A and B are shown apart, each in its own frame.
Chain A
Amino acid sequence: MVDFVKRDQNDIFNRPILGFLFKNPKLLMVLRTVVAALFFYAVYFGFVHPAKDNLFTGALFWGIFWSLFMVATLPTFGRIFCGICPHGFLGKYITAFGLQKTMPKWMQNRYIGIVLLVVGWWGIYYTFPGVWKTPFATAALFGGMSLVAFAVYYLYKDMGHCKYICPIGTLSRAYDKLSFTKLETYTDYCKDCRTFECASACSHALKPFSFANKNQTDDCTLCMECASSCEAVKFRFTKPAEQLAGTFKTLNAEIWAYILILASIPVSMTFAHGLNRSRIADSMIWNQTAAYFGMSEYAGGFAFAYALLLTVFISVTGLFLASKVLKKDYSSTFSTLGYAYAPLFILGSLGHTLETFFTKDYETIVEGFAQAFGFAADASALASRGDAWLHYFGLFKWIAVVWALVLIYKRLKLIDAARWRKISGYFFASFVVIFFVGINLYQGHVLSTYGVKERGGNTHGSHSHGGDSFQKISFADKTGKRDFSGAEKAAMIKEDEPIHFTLTDPKENAQNGGGRNTHAMSGGSHRPSSEIPSKKAWLVFNGNRPVSNADIETFVFDAGHELKDVKVEQKRGVSTYRFDIPRNGYYNLIAKNCAVKDDTLWYKIAKLEYLHAQHGNDDVYSDDVKKELNIDGIKIDLIRVKDAREKDFFYRHSMGDTLTFKALLDHKPLANANVAIALSSGWTKNVTTDENGIAKFTIVRDYFPAWNEFDKMYKQNLLLTLTYDEEKKGQIDGNEYQKAKYILTYPLSFYPNSSDYESYGYALILLSITLLCAGIVIYLFRRNRTKPFKEVRYEE
């Protein structure tokens, strides 16, 4: 026994707070007692309140213990979950007065625990969804598990239950290898030890003094009994997964735990919950198989079976092929490379678990505890689904993938083979990682392409994954219905009423006032997953009422002046006009509507010039981009003449700009036509075109907020309406007319002028002050330095 050691810097026992938390026996005793009390109270509570209104039992077991605490601690601090487990805690005392027999050989099999977990829990979980999660079933499960555990502890010695029977025993042991902590001893001090207090203190009959040399901790549950018995025990920080970079006595059960848990949780979840939510769920192979056998209500079970089969097949095939190219026997390849799969599940699920905690579980936990202990608590979720920062939890999955790939590389170093053999072996060994990435990408692809299935007819309605998004859909439907009445009114437009394009959804933004717009470059694309970005526009009239009647011809000229189709989508009675904007440049969207009534031709054009600008592509703004577009299909046109100041894709009109327009009728300049200018703020003006068809006007400043409310992205809309009456006979589409009335609308938006908020004067003052101050400081500093050095001498 060692009474005193000089602890290393990376020893957790050397840290003031962490050391106390992990080592103080009294604190650990209190902690274990509290956890055990909570555990059995929750079991009791589940039996007493078996109905769904019992929040506490579920919150404790499914909110805290599994999966939050376990998944969060295993890849970080290691198996501390086992260190406070009530079974192990009480088991120690039960074993002390128990029979202490040796476990029969057939029971000393780690696959008992793994099979219990994979089949007994996950198999039933998917096949009979919702069965396990009722408070009564939860209580019965954990109560039953406790009874089994105590029986095994009573009969057999050395905590055999933890090692072989406990469903998460081998799993914890396996994932502990990823953690950045390791329990071991100061071997320098252990050299002379002949008493082995650490080993005799260990209830699991392990030899902590050997952990340092073995590069692993066997079945250590971090109960820290050895640390209280001898000072030479240390609990040190390591690099994450440091153990996996070296050799140690491998255990195939651990690798099977990695593979089977990967199959049971992330892969099965993707199948049974993710892909089953999609519209094409019915064509998935597990649902088809289930339907073939007429067992559709157990389709989740089939999904689970397929997940198991596929994952096991792919990992075994990959490792088998790897062993062939590496020219090593299969079992040694399996036990060496299989350890690299460790991060896939645990980190992948960490993100999901944390996200669930913030969006849902936190609320349930607080309310559950309030229910169990009779205090009042009003908790609300810490985040709502869809909050931007929650997306970062999705990164854990990719960290897991990268880490697994790095680990394969590191584990391959332990194998002695030729370089090219290792490279191809690497490829085969990473099959399971590729599979994991593949199903994740496939799920994203399916959900974004085919969308989420409507409510009802879902075989797993009770599960939370599906539930949230269903709520979202039904919510969207509700808001849609509210606006529907407004859209119905839209149908009636008189002939003389001009229609115009708008880029804001008229349903979303009832007031057509100025307002904040989302900047095009900050990713305002509506469908981020599609390859070609597109822009939506709506046709409105009379303020901002959506147009929905047909008989409107729409087309678009793209940045290269090529005629393209507009995709028209009908949505709740309102048409949405969508056009692709693959390149930066000007897009001219045209809507044409002409009708002859009472010998009068009503010829209406709605035109929209949209300047698309996005950072990060190779388009160059040249004179070609600015070239005037002459449109053949329409009789009347209004073209904005671009001046020299317009010289990049990010050009915006601003208050005070003078705009020049050229009106054309049958491609000839149109004189004496009236152009009405209306600002969304209400200001109006009329100009008449000159003999060259030119109309000019200056955008007024109509934005006078208080200084601190000024918004330089304040967007105001302006609508130009060109009207011209022509007393000329003619015919169109077989209909003759005596006179023609032309109406063309041209909307544009503008922003405050930069001179309204940018100041040269203050900048120059500040610059001068900076130059002056810096100059003076340097000058003074240097003058002081050049003063003769006065030495102070002391007589010695």
Chain B
Amino acid sequence: MKSKIKNAINNMNLHRTRFWIQLVVFVIFVYGGYFAIDLGSKLPVFACPYNSASAGACYLIPLQHQLSMPTRVLLGGAAISVIVGLLTFLAWFVFLNKAWCGYMCPIGTLQDWFTALRKRTGIRYSTYTRIQFEKLSKIKYIFLAIVLLFPLLMGVGLLGSQWSAAFCQMCPARIISPMLSGDFSQLTIDFSSKTAMVLTAIGIVFAGLFVIGSFVKKRFFCFFCPMSALHYIFSDLSVVQLKKNGSKCTRCGDCYAVCDMQVKDIADDVTSTNIIRDDCILCLKCVAACPEDGVLHFDILKLNAFSSTKEGFEKRMGMEKPYEGQR
């Protein structure tokens, strides 16, 4: 019985499963407000509260607001609210690790749908070269620094209130998420100060790049997402992990070929067992594409929940073609 369930899971059509999960979660996060769903404001995904129908709020918003409190307040009693906020965020995060990106994030889902659209139109996709990859991969840490440092500088008094939630002003999710519920009010440039003007103009440019970029490059924005960087810092705390048994790996490169995020270590690293990298979105496509028994496995509380099998690979080959089908 047990092995039967296990087999069924290992042989599942990940592509379809993931599509339905993403669709349901997308509806919850983007339109959940209509169903009176409120998941709080410490979510580890881009559930942007600028969209009034959102079922919750991205943690970066309260984080930036909290850190921008006057320093005396921040380092006084308010430090507790910052810590509580972080712990709430972590409480959400530990359940899914970076699968929050791969399965939950509405902005990530949106990018996957752009990709699906591109596939239908028959336009081929782009990839970065290794050198580009190495350089661009650092940008998310710059954004994370903006998220953390700018509010602190506001608290000290070095930056004015026009820098409030500076990252959000640049974030494409702020502009795109409200549009999903018919609110176009974020598609504006704020001329009230030079800072606001520059930041919102950057936001508009990023929104444009988001649309074009995610059309030609899979998961274009995830590569620059500060939330992804924040996730990675706490990744080891999570109860779910992606593990690799390097001794059985044949280094065929299937996993790398299907990886939306071009994480090279998934194929090349045969020594580390924990194979989650900062760019990983834990979409588990690599596990589904791995033709060897038990080389890649997705663990929940150290229990093997979904693992790569020869049988599963062969079953899935009809749907996921790592060589020909990928456009």
Interface residues in chain A, defined as those with a beta carbon under 8 Å from any beta carbon in chain B: 387-389, 391-392, 394-395, 519, 521-523, 525, 528-529, 615-616, 618, 620, 647-648, 707-708, 710-713, 752, 754, 757-760, 762-764, 766-767, 769-771, 774-775, 778, 782
For A774, the closest partner residue in chain B by CB is B212
A710 to B213, CA, bound (A): 35
CB-CB under 8 A for A528 and B72, given A710-B192, A767-B208, A771-B211: yes
Is residue B65 contacting chain A, with contact meaning CB distance below 8 A?
Answer: yes
Is residue B207 contacting chain A, with contact meaning CB distance below 8 A?
Answer: yes
User: What 1/0 flags go to B178-197 for Cβ under 8 Å of A?
Assistant: 00000010011111111010
A519 to B68, CA, bound (A): 12
Stretch from B90-98, B99-107, B154-162, B263-271 forming part of the interface with A: B154-162
Contact B81 A616 (CB under 8 A): yes
For A448, the closest partner residue in chain B by CB is B76
Q: Which residues of B contact A648 (CB under 8 A)?
A: 52
Closest 5 CB pairs of A and B: A770-B208, A712-B192, A757-B192, A758-B188, A523-B69
A62 to B204, CA, bound (A): 56
Contact B38 A391 (CB under 8 A): no
Is residue B137 contacting chain A, with contact meaning CB distance below 8 A?
Answer: no
Contact A759 B85 (CB under 8 A): no
Beyond the given pairs A392-B71, A767-B207, A770-B208, 5 more chain A to chain B contacts, judged by CB atoms under 8 angstroms and listed by A's residue number, are A388-B156, A522-B69, A615-B62, A615-B65, A760-B184
CB-CB under 8 A for A759 and B75, given A615-B41, A616-B62, A766-B205: no
For A615, the closest partner residue in chain B by CB is B65
Size bracket, chain B contacts: 35 or more
Contact B161 A713 (CB under 8 A): yes
Contact B71 A388 (CB under 8 A): yes
CB-CB under 8 A for A616 and B65, given A757-B192, A763-B189: yes
CB-CB under 8 A for A770 and B205, given A388-B155, A529-B76: yes
Contact A759 B191 (CB under 8 A): yes
Contact A389 B156 (CB under 8 A): yes
For B205, the closest partner residue in chain A by CB is A770
Is residue B228 contacting chain A, with contact meaning CB distance below 8 A?
Answer: no
Contact A760 B188 (CB under 8 A): yes
**16 A-B residue pairings within 8 Å (CB atoms):** A388-B155, A388-B157, A389-B71, A395-B75, A521-B65, A522-B68, A529-B77, A615-B66, A616-B81, A712-B193, A754-B188, A759-B191, A766-B189, A767-B187, A770-B204, A770-B209
Q: Which residues of A contact B66 (CB under 8 A)?
A: 615-616
Chain A interface mostly:
helix
A782 to B216, CA, bound (A): 11
Q: Which residues of A contact B161 (CB under 8 A)?
A: 519, 522, 713
Contact B38 A620 (CB under 8 A): yes
Contact B209 A774 (CB under 8 A): yes
Contact A774 B192 (CB under 8 A): no
A150 to B56, CA, bound (A): 72
CB-CB under 8 A for A759 and B188, given A528-B77, A771-B212: yes
A172 to B61, CA, bound (A): 46
CB-CB under 8 A for A757 and B70, given A388-B156, A519-B161: no
Is residue B126 contacting chain A, with contact meaning CB distance below 8 A?
Answer: yes
Q: Which residues of B contact A522 (CB under 8 A)?
A: 65, 68-70, 161, 164
Q: Which residues of A contact B156 (CB under 8 A)?
A: 388-389, 392
User: What 1/0 flags go to B53-82 for Cβ under 8 Å of A?
Assistant: 000000001100110111111111110010
A711 to B65, CA, bound (A): 20
Q: Which residues of A contact B204 (CB under 8 A)?
A: 763, 766-767, 770
For A527, the closest partner residue in chain B by CB is B77
A712 to B193, CA, bound (A): 8
A388 to B71, CA, bound (A): 5
User: What 1/0 flags go to B144-157 for Cβ under 8 Å of A?
Assistant: 00000000000111
Partner of B201, one of A752, A757, A766, A778: A766
A403 to B279, CA, bound (A): 31
Q: Which residues of A contact B207 (CB under 8 A)?
A: 767, 770
CB-CB under 8 A for A762 and B212, given A389-B156, A616-B65, A616-B66: no
Contact A762 B78 (CB under 8 A): no
Contact A708 B71 (CB under 8 A): no
- Tally of A-B residue pairs with Cβ under 8 A? 121
A651 to B124, CA, bound (A): 47
A754 to B212, CA, bound (A): 29
Q: Which residues of A contact B77 (CB under 8 A)?
A: 528-529
**Interface of chain B residues 124 through 179 with chain A (CB within 8 A):** 124, 126, 155-158, 161, 164
User: What 1/0 flags go to B1-43 for Cβ under 8 Å of A?
Assistant: 0000000000000000000000000000000000000101100
Q: Which residues of A contact B41 (CB under 8 A)?
A: 615-616
Contact B126 A771 (CB under 8 A): no
A111 to B209, CA, bound (A): 69
Identify which of B52, B85, B189, B209 gathers the most chain A CB atoms within 10 Å of its CB: B189
Shortest CB–CB separation between residue B107 and chain A, in angstroms?
17
CB-CB under 8 A for A763 and B70, given A521-B65, A708-B194, A770-B208: no
For A393, the closest partner residue in chain B by CB is B75
Q: Which residues of A contact B70 (CB under 8 A)?
A: 388, 522-523
A775 to B211, CA, bound (A): 10
A752 to B194, CA, bound (A): 17
Q: Which residues of A contact B61 (CB under 8 A)?
A: 615
A708 to B73, CA, bound (A): 31
Contact B193 A710 (CB under 8 A): yes
Partner of A523, one of B73, B200, B208, B216: B73
Shortest CB–CB separation between residue B10 and chain A, in angstroms?
37
Q: Which residues of B contact A757 (CB under 8 A)?
A: 190-192
Q: Which residues of B contact A529 (CB under 8 A)?
A: 76-77
Shortest CB–CB separation between residue A418 and chain B, in angstroms?
24
Shortest CB–CB separation between residue A699 and chain B, in angstroms?
18
CB-CB under 8 A for A528 and B73, given A710-B192, A759-B188, A759-B189: yes
For A707, the closest partner residue in chain B by CB is B191
For B157, the closest partner residue in chain A by CB is A388
Q: Which residues of B contact A770 (CB under 8 A)?
A: 204-205, 207-209, 212
Contact A711 B85 (CB under 8 A): no
Q: Which residues of A contact B209 (CB under 8 A)?
A: 770, 774
Contact A778 B126 (CB under 8 A): yes
A618 to B77, CA, bound (A): 19
Shortest CB–CB separation between residue B76 and chain A, in angstroms?
5
Contact B189 A391 (CB under 8 A): no
Q: Which residues of A contact B200 (CB under 8 A)?
A: 763
Contact A774 B72 (CB under 8 A): no
Q: Which residues of A contact B68 (CB under 8 A)?
A: 522
Contact A778 B216 (CB under 8 A): yes
For B41, the closest partner residue in chain A by CB is A616
A387 to B72, CA, bound (A): 9
Partner of B72, one of A388, A708, A759: A388
Contact B65 A774 (CB under 8 A): no
Contact B78 A523 (CB under 8 A): yes
Contact A616 B192 (CB under 8 A): no
CB-CB under 8 A for A528 and B213, given A522-B70, A523-B70, A759-B191: no
Shortest CB–CB separation between residue B41 and chain A, in angstroms?
7
A769 to B209, CA, bound (A): 10
Contact A763 B71 (CB under 8 A): no
A376 to B230, CA, bound (A): 52
A778 to B123, CA, bound (A): 12
Q: Which residues of B contact A767 (CB under 8 A)?
A: 187, 204, 207-208
Q: Which residues of B contact A769 (CB under 8 A)?
A: 208
Q: Which residues of B contact A778 (CB under 8 A)?
A: 126, 212, 216
Q: Which residues of A contact B71 (CB under 8 A)?
A: 388-389, 391-392
CB-CB under 8 A for A616 and B188, given A522-B69, A778-B216: no
For B212, the closest partner residue in chain A by CB is A774
User: What 1/0 flags go to B192-226 for Cβ under 8 Å of A?
Assistant: 11101000110011011101110010000000000
Contact B157 A775 (CB under 8 A): no
Q: Which residues of B contact A618 (CB under 8 A)?
A: 40
A615 to B62, CA, bound (A): 7
Shortest CB–CB separation between residue B148 and chain A, in angstroms?
14
Shortest CB–CB separation between residue B154 and chain A, in angstroms?
8
